[in-house]
Chains A and B, each alone.
Chain A
Amino acid sequence: MTEPLPPLAELVEPAEPSARPSDHALGFALLSAALLGAAALFPLDRPPLSLFACPLKAATGWPCLFCGATHAFAHLVHGHPGDALAASPLGTLLALAALAHLAATCARLCGFSFTPPAVRFGLRLRLATLALLAANWVFVAARTRGVL
């Protein structure tokens, strides 16, 4: 008895550089604009941004994984990248990614054609991401506890 054949792969045409961003790219651009706009317009010490104070930190004194992200967004959009990195490297990276995605989507809406680079999220990249998340938390925790 012969073994069944593996499934057939589908041949695809190489992607043409496209001007029009996808619906999801537009959705994420709007989300980025909302987050960056809120960080630029609202003061950190008054609602609604002050409501993002971390309850875990308030209760235990230890930061959560995303502690400092609101400050990082606010410092970055106000042109203080050093303060943003000090608040949260992860938050700074997310803010930069949001800014880059917003700019790229606006450029594509204006007619510039390019294909976003495809990143293969393999095992090494996943492990590296997890290590960076852990390193970010250690850094923020060290700053919160006054070690750094």
Chain B
Amino acid sequence: MLARCPSCRQTFSTERSGQQDCPHCKRPLIVPGAPPQAELIMPSPEPAFGSPESETAPGTPWERRAELGLFTAWWQTVYQSLFEPGKLFTSARLDRGRAQLGFAVTTWSVFAALGQIIDRLLLSDQRDQATRWLNQLRQAGAHLPPFVDRLLAMGNNDNSIPATFGIALLSPLFAFLFVYLNAGVTHGSAMLIGQARRGFAATFAACAYGFAPFVLLAVPGCGGIVALVWCAALTGYGLKRMHRISPGAAAGAVLAPYVILCCAGCAVSLSVASFFGGMIPK
């Protein structure tokens, strides 16, 4: 017969009923026979994680948007994500992946588009000024690392109104791809350290609701950076609650990809610093 472990939610095959250890997580459990014996259906002192109690979670406000209304559901979900994440992840269901994807894509798309437009309206003068300043440095003989040069060139090319609206219109596609890429990499990390206890659906819920801080994309300047850091922290907390793992394991699973990104970010900073350092007269 096939049985599902109430602790790790992995399915395993067994030939006998009664008390035994899960072959995946090695925790003790009782496999009920058919028909179940009276002594085997005694409730455990507290509901196990992943037990039917948590499977019948009420759902987050966004997952209940049919009864709450679209905007109220979205606003309550964002509020809970940012300020009451424990409440949010306790109520999240594992069978609402499509709704969770919808929340992440909607939140990212709307605020990325808004951020693009606000950025263009408020920061175009500063960008022009920065470009002039960099050109002066180049004329003075400074050497810009090639990838930084390409990034700056692309940023300037995409400063037109059609490009701004084009990027805004493509935001849902980018959001969709980024949600799955992020969830895939995070789940891969969690699997590597043996902490993906409740399957991909749990990781996906944590990553999707972890997109709530991207409402800050509408804040010009530092909004994106703050959102990224908050997103990482919220995803880690979500993993801890959804997979029922220790804070250290959740941090490890979430931070592994970010460490790579951070290393890349540090490398960019070093390159830029060395570029400007070369400009200082000795």
Contacts and interface: CB of A to CB of B under 8 A. Distances in A.
Categorize the interface residue count of chain B: 35 or more
Interface in B1-37: 1-7, 10-11, 19, 22, 24, 27-32, 34
A7 B176 contact: no
B150 A47 contact: yes
Interface string B178-199: 0111001000000111101000
A8 B40 contact: yes
Contact of B3 (A11, A54, A118): A11
Categorize the interface residue count of chain A: 35 or more
Contacts of A12: 2-4, 11
A11 B32 contact: yes
A24 B263 contact: no
Given A28-B180, A31-B180, A53-B146, A10 B24 contact: no
B31 A65 contact: no
B267 A60 contact: yes
B97 A11 contact: no
Given A24-B97, A51-B147, A9 B192 contact: no
Interface stretch (A80-88, A107-115, A119-127, A138-146): A119-127
A34 B274 CA distance: 36
B177 A31 contact: yes
Contact of B154 (A11, A51, A56, A65): A51
Interface of B: 1-7, 10-11, 19, 22, 24, 27-32, 34, 40-42, 44-45, 48, 51-52, 97-98, 101, 145-147, 150-151, 154, 173, 176-177, 179-181, 184, 191-194, 196, 200-201, 204, 260, 263-265, 267-268, 270-271, 274
